[in-house]
Structure formats: C-alpha cells, structure tokens
A = this chain, B = another copy of it.
C-alpha cells in the first residue's frame, strides 16, 4: 500500500443481491428504518452462500449492510451536492451527505434481521430497508449497540426524522389492497413510504397531477390535496405491472 493513493482503486467481491419491494429509485425512503414495513431478501452469492458463514448472526436483531449504489456507480462525483432533505436549494459537501453520487459509491444501512433461511443457498430476510431491487451487497456485519449507537452524537443538518404527511386511501385502493394476497402489511408500507413525500422538494403541489412508483408488482398511484395550507396524500389505486 503506497502512501500516495492518488488514482488507486481497490476491488471487492459482491457477496449477495437484494430482492426488494422497491423496484425503482423514486419513492425509496431516504434512510433505512423510516419504513419499517419495507421488506427485502438478500440472496447470498456463491461461494459465500453457506450457512456456516452466518452462524451466530441470528443472535443479532439488526445488521449493517455495506452495499453498492449500483445506479450511481458510473456517475461523475461532484464536490458539492444539493440534498433533498435540505429542500434541494442548499449546496453542501458530498462527504457531509449520504448522497449515492459520491467518489466511492458505497452505501451503509442498518436494517432489522427478520430471519435467515438456507433454501438451496442462504437468504437473509430483512425489514426497514431503503434498498433498490438488484442492489449488490459487499458486506454484512452485526450491529454492536455499545459501539455503533451514539445517541449523543450531534448532526445539525439532520437532527430528527423528516416531518410526515397525512395519507388516506381511496375506496378503490382499499379494495385493491384487501384483494392483494401474499403481501405483509401492504397498507402500512404504502403509508410509511408516501408519508415521507417522495417528491423533489422544489415541486409545488399540482392537485391535477397523478404520481406513480413501482412497489412490489404494482404501479402505486397517488395525488396531493391541499386544504388551507395543509397538504395531504390520497392513494388512488394500485395498477398491476405487466411482467
């Protein structure tokens, strides 16, 4: 290892791939844990897919994922970015943010480990994930509360969860959710995702506009409503995706 690393790159193996309820970037909560009902499965890749390598991990309620921002991997980094959290109009240093467009496009998320299965390989079932379908996983580590949890840490740019918006369901959406079999807590997930308000923050409310995002095998449609100065969201319908 030289002490002048200019231009040096180091390569790491992909140890698994994420299968997620989130099928596109738009709408994914901007941090893990904001949508506890967001479920995903990590399918561990060969030659790492032996249960031996995960023995004891079941003693942990939470795990760290170090993953690749694979949709941002080949984007050119810039020293300054405009985080959506700051309204998109304040520019800060890329290393002061968790932006996916960064020199080493490596993400970091703590998620809940629901269970480990060993069906023809190894599968980790997780929840609270903010991960896109197909995300490559570089490493999995146990969360160690006495080390990783620093509740007294100060972060003046992001000191509390973002405020949330009220979400209600149309009659059609309610019926579609009731009829959708095989999804745990689908209504809760939709509420947790939409209450974060996935729009870029510079977009003004247009009550005539319909928004959509892919969630599981649906195109989730919603609109914004304004009463006085209060905005809320109405879930319109879940359109099955043509597969």
Contacts and interface: CB of A to CB of B under 8 A. Distances in A.
A23 interface: no
Interface in A150-191: 150-161
A94 B53 contact: yes
Contacts of A51: 93
Interface stretch (A62-70, A195-203, A225-233, A235-243): A62-70
Contact of A155 (B47, B60, B79, B97): B60
A14 B136 CA distance: 20
Nearest to A154: B61
Q: How many copies does the complex hold?
A: 2
A5 B108 contact: no
Interface residues of A, number: 83
Given A5-B17, A17-B5, A138-B106, A143 B155 contact: yes
A136 B1 contact: yes
B140 A95 contact: yes
Given A1-B136, A93-B52, A108-B64, A10 B8 contact: no
Contacts of A59: 96, 154-157
Interface in A127-154: 134, 136, 138-154
Given A70-B1, A136-B8, A95 B153 contact: no
Contacts of A103: 12-13, 15, 48, 139
Interface in A1-28: 1, 3-17
Interface string A78-112: 01100000000001111111100011111010100
A45 interface: yes
Nearest to A99: B141
Given A54-B96, A62-B155, A95-B142, 17 more contacts: A7-B13, A10-B73, A10-B136, A11-B12, A12-B12, A12-B104, A32-B147, A50-B79, A55-B93, A56-B92, A56-B157, A61-B155, A62-B154, A143-B150, A143-B153, A145-B150, A146-B158
What 10 pairs between A and B have smallest CB-CB spacing? A56-B96, A56-B92, A11-B11, A5-B14, A59-B156, A55-B93, A12-B104, A53-B79, A52-B79, A57-B96
